[in-house]
């Protein structure tokens, strides 16, 4: 059963600690993405990777880091430098659809709460 898994579903951390969110896909997609969702703000792109061992900053990369050592995995680390880390984090992957549309498929998300 192909799809994207994110773990854990809920994560709690103390301020000042780094935390890593997991994202795994078995869809054989080349591209992977991390988005942050806040109430009333839609989704904002944090980082994306079009190929293994390469990634680019999105619109709100400050305070985050990623790695892409394997095609299937794209973990996101929320560092202590991120000012407002409490949010819902969504991972996605894509392959070029028909007509090169690059439709994205999303995981179930991880809700991070930092206190």
Partner 1 sequence: GNSVTQMEGPVTLSEEAFLTINCTYTATGYPSLFWYVQYPGEGLQLLLKATKADDKGSNKGFEATYRKETTSFHLEKGSVQVSDSAVYFCALSGGGGADGLTFGKGTHLIIQP
Binding piece for partner 1, criterion CB under 8 A, among 13-21, 34-42, 62-70, 72-80: 34-42
Q: How far apart are the first and last CA of the chain?
A: 36
Query: Does 2 interact with partner 1 (rule: CB under 8 A)?
Result: no
- Count of residues touching partner 1 (by CB under 8 A): 33
Query: Does 90 interact with partner 1 (rule: CB under 8 A)?
Result: yes
Q: Compute the distance between CA of residue 73 and CA of residue 98 in angstroms, rounded to an integer.
A: 25
Q: Least CB distance from residue 106 to partner 1, whole Å?
A: 4
Closest CB to partner 1 among residues 2, 16? 2
Query: Where are the strands (E) in 8-109, listed by range?
Result: 10-13, 19-25, 31-37, 43-51, 54-57, 64-66, 76-78, 87-94, 104-106
Q: Compute the distance between CA of residue 56 and CA of residue 22 in angstroms, rounded to an integer.
A: 18
- Binding interface with partner 1 (CB under 8 A): 4, 6, 30-31, 33, 35, 40-45, 48, 50, 56, 58, 90, 92, 94, 96-109
């Amino acid at each position: 059963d192909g799809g994207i898994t994110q773990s854990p579903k809920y994560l709690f951390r103390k301020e000042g600690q780094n935390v890593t969110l997991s994202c795994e896909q078995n869809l054989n997609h080349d591209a992977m993405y991390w988005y942050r969702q806040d109430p009333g703000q839609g989704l904002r792109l944090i980082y994306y990777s079009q190929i293994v061992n390469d990634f680019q900053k999105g619109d709100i990369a400050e305070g985050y880091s990623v790695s892409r050592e394997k095609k299937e995995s794209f973990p996101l680390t929320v560092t202590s430098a991120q000012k407002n880390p409490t949010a819902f984090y969504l991972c996605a992957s894509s392959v070029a659809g028909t007509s090169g549309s690059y439709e994205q498929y999303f995981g179930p998300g991880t809700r991070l709460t930092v206190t």
